[in-house]
């Protein structure tokens, strides 16, 4: 039996384009001892992938040229040579952009227990995106009922969960998204109290109107011009979760912007970088909490599903072009 994989063939400067990848097909060999073979059902496409293949230091070891692109995936165990997993079990983990993955048990993040819900959620609202939203908000944002939580990329996979969790926690949720359609999705699908299209005129004025008491928690997925408009609106004692920097496709040359120190000082504010992989011990409990909210209809999600492994090479560049509507996934099996 053959398996196809998406391999990194050149290192991008900035965002990876389709030509940085190639699809390779190879015969599946004998599963090595101590390994599990997973047939991937869905592959994840995440903004953080830019960093995993970047030509600069990052918080993750880089994917090597010639290697299968690193990715989270969800699939079914098709064969096992370890006692912990049996064929037929649904697992999610670091299985890469490929049809079949032969992995050690350490690459399995978790067994999917929420089998009453679509498996694809293990990559989104019940996976890296939902856990990022919940743990980032809880540990760094520390929102209190009645406070204003502002989210950039508010309609995205992480942002939409942040906004809804803020509402569940009794906060006022305000979103910033690109385009009037996404802003409307924020209000109508995800229940934000207010949503602002940053491409429209008067971002600063719109923020002032939507956050009359200032911003207590800013969940920042963008940096850049959006954040430049937000920082002056921070409330005293504000908390800023630095979760992503989607405004910049490259940090070489390093971009400049208005200095943050004076805002931090005058507002006695706190800004802290958040990388979800530092919080592995909170993963299982967080997924359980998120799943309960999904079942109760309190936590909605939106998926942007592309079909077939051929869609992988351009899928990441497409994220940075802003073409997705919801969590981007590649579906391999029906």
Q: Is the CB of residue 315 less than 8 Å from the CB of residue 290?
A: no
Q: Strand 215-220 relative to strand 172-177: parallel, antiparallel, unpaired?
A: unpaired
* Contact flag: residue 275 with its own copies (CB under 8 A): yes
Nearest approach, Cβ of 106 to its own copies (angstroms)?
22
Cα–Cα distance measured from residue 8 to residue 32, given in angstroms and rounded to the nearest whole number: 24
243-272 residues in contact with its own copies (CB under 8 A) are: 243-245, 248, 251, 254-272
Cα–Cα distance measured from residue 311 to residue 299, given in angstroms and rounded to the nearest whole number: 28
Interaction mask 168-187, its own copies, x per CB under 8 A: --------------------
Nearest approach, Cβ of 240 to its own copies (angstroms)?
9
* Contact flag: residue 9 with its own copies (CB under 8 A): no
Q: Strand 148-152 relative to strand 90-94: parallel, antiparallel, unpaired?
A: unpaired
For residues 266 and 288, which CB has a smaller minimum distance to its own copies in the complex? 266
36-55 residues in contact with its own copies (CB under 8 A) are: none
For residues 41 and 271, which CB has a smaller minimum distance to its own copies in the complex? 271
Cα–Cα distance measured from residue 140 to residue 85, given in angstroms and rounded to the nearest whole number: 35
Question: What phi-psi label fits residue 202: left (phi over 0), alpha (psi between -120 and 50 degrees) or beta?
Answer: left
Find residue 75's DSSP bridge partners. Answer: 40, 91
Q: Is the CB of residue 17 less than 8 Å from the CB of residue 314?
A: yes
* Contact flag: residue 324 with its own copies (CB under 8 A): no
For residues 27 and 261, which CB has a smaller minimum distance to its own copies in the complex? 261
* Contact flag: residue 128 with its own copies (CB under 8 A): no
* Contact flag: residue 208 with its own copies (CB under 8 A): no
Q: Is the CB of residue 197 less than 8 Å from the CB of residue 183?
A: yes
* Contact flag: residue 214 with its own copies (CB under 8 A): no
* Contact flag: residue 321 with its own copies (CB under 8 A): no
Name the site residues for its own copies (rule: CB under 8 A).
Answer: 57-59, 220, 223, 227, 242-245, 248, 251, 254-275, 278
């Amino acid at each position: 039996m053959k398996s196809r994989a998406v391999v990194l063939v050149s290192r991008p400067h900035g965002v990876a384009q389709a030509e940085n990848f190639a699809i390779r097909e190879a015969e599946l060999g004998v599963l090595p001892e101590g390994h599990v073979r997973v047939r991937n059902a869905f592959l994840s496409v995440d903004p953080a992938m830019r960093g995993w293949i970047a030509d600069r230091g990052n918080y993750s070891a880089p994917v090597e040229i010639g290697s299968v692109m690193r990715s989270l995936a969800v699939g079914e165990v098709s064969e096992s040579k370890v006692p912990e997993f049996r064929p037929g079990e649904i697992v999610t983990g670091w299985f890469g952009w490929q049809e079949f993955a032969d992995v050690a048990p350490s690459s399995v993040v978790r067994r999917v227990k929420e089998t009453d819900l679509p498996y694809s959620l293990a990559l989104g609202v019940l996976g890296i995106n939902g856990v990022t939203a919940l743990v980032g908000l809880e540990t760094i944002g520390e929102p209190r009922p009645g406070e204003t939580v502002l989210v950039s990329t508010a309609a995205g996979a992480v942002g939409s969960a942040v906004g809804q969790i803020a509402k569940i926690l009794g906060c006022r949720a305000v979103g910033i998204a690109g385009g009037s359609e996404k802003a409307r999705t924020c209000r109508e699908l995800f229940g934000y109290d207010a949503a602002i299209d940053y491409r429209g005129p008067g971002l600063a004025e719109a923020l002032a109107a939507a956050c009359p008491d200032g911003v207590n928690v800013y969940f920042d997925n963008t940096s850049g011009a959006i954040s430049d408009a937000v920082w002056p609106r921070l409330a005293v004692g504000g908390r800023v979760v630095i979760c992503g920097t989607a405004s910049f496709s490259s940090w070489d040359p390093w971009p400049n912007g208005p200095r943050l120190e004076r805002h931090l000082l005058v507002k006695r504010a706190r800004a802290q970088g958040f990388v979800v992989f530092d919080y592995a011990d909170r993963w299982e409990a967080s997924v359980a909490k998120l799943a309960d909210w999904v079942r109760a209809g309190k936590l909605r999600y939106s998926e942007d599903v592309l079909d077939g492994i051929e869609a992988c090479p351009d899928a990441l560049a497409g994220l940075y072009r802003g073409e997705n509507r919801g969590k981007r996934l590649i579906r391999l099996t029906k």
